[in-house]
């Protein structure tokens, strides 16, 4: 698992499980310094609502295999057991003041065990985010944004250096083409950070308008090609580019007479060619940025080495 995957999973986990909200709620019951307060029906209802929301979040998180492993490693399945929460709700119903827990050892143990366990989760999340993410990712310059791209490790044996070279070369070409089209005020493409684990994750910092277009291209282009069999992928460029937001932007420039139709065709072809190269070497948006309804890793691996008809990389042309 990549470092950033872990830190973001930790942040997602604490948010979905309502950890910080539960810690704040439990403080008066376990810390004398917080002072005693009246326990009314509103507070009892608040705790019940937090319990329900956290259980929904827990069930949702367990659908993600990576996060489920992290939660199991941290012992969250025991901390968030319905039996534990149910017992605490019943105990809360017997209290009139939060400070009464200090005179009831059995009750105090239950509340403090939950409080200390949740506080530990907050500390782990904050430490990971601070040292493994915040210090790793540089602050953004005005008008810029980061686009993260993943280079797939097909066989879980590492990413070949040749593929890494082609990834950076093709992405640089794609960026230069788009920058020439938009003439962004800040046209620099910077590598903000690199993270590895199984796949290679690279954060590129660039002008926001260009980052938005590239994100749109990777999302929409992938949706067009992911279910295409390899044999059917060798097709005219119009079929791949039809309906892409980028193509609509190019057409708008033609309509405004900013570029000619001939230039628009060349521009579209060059962009589609680089997108095909990038998909063919296993480049994509990270899974967390894509609505996962299918196994994108498997589909991306099936596109390994695809070529676009009409590019200089078409093996069928070189062999004929």
Question: Residue by residue, what is the 3-state secondary structure of 219-275?
Answer: HHHHHHHCCCCHHHHCCCHHHHHCCCHHHHHHHHHHHCCCCCHHHHHHHHHHHHHHH
Rounded to whole angstroms, the Cα distance separating 6 from 133 reads 10
The vertex-158 CA angle with 154 and 162, nearest 5°, equals: 85
pTM (whole model) above 0.75: no
Share of the chain above pLDDT 70, in %: 85
- Examine the pLDDT at 75 and tell me if it is beyond 80: yes
Which tops the pLDDT comparison, 167 or 300?
A: 167
Instruction: Please answer whether residues 308 and 276 qualify as being in contact, where contact means their C-beta atoms are separated by less than 8 angstroms.
Output: yes
- Examine the pLDDT at 33 and tell me if it is beyond 80: yes
The DSSP bridge partners found for residue 203 are 148, 193
305 φ/ψ sector (left φ>0, alpha ψ -120 to 50, else beta): left
Interval 185-194: pLDDT, tens: 677 899 999 9
């Amino acid at each position: 698992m990549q470092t950033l995957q872990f830190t973001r999973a930790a942040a997602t986990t604490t948010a979905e499980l309502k950890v910080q909200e539960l810690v704040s709620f439990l403080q008066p019951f376990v810390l004398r310094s917080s002072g005693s307060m009246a326990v009314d029906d509103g507070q009892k209802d608040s705790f019940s609502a937090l319990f329900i929301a956290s259980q929904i979040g827990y069930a949702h998180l367990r659908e993600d295999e990576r996060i489920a492993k992290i939660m199991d490693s941290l012992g969250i399945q025991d901390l968030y057991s319905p039996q534990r929460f149910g017992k605490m709700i019943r105990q809360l119903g017997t209290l009139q003041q939060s400070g009464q827990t200090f005179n009831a050892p059995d009750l105090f143990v239950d509340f403090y065990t939950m409080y200390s366990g949740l506080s530990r989760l907050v500390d782990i999340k904050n430490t990971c985010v601070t040292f493994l993410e915040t210090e790793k990712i540089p602050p953004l310059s005005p008008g810029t944004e980061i686009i993260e791209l993943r280079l797939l490790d097909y066989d879980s044996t590492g990413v070949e250096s040749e593929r890494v070279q082609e990834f950076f070369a093709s992405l640089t070409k794609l960026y230069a083409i788009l920058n020439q089209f938009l003439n962004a005020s800040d046209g620099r493409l910077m590598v903000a950070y690199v993270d590895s684990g199984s796949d290679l994750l690279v954060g590129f910092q660039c002008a926001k308008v260009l980052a938005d277009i590239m994100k749109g291209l990777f999302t929409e282009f992938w949706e067009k090609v992911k279910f295409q069999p390899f044999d059917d992928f060798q097709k005219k460029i119009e079929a791949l580019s039809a309906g892409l937001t980028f193509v609509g932007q190019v057409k708008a420039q033609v309509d405004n007479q900013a570029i000619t139709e001939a230039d628009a065709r060349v521009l579209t072809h060059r962009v589609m060619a680089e997108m095909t190269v990038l998909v063919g070497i296993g480049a994509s948006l990270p899974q967390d940025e894509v609505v996962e309804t299918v196994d994108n890793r498997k589909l991306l691996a099936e596109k390994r080495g695809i070529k676009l008809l009409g590019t200089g990389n078409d093996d069928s042309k070189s062999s004929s």
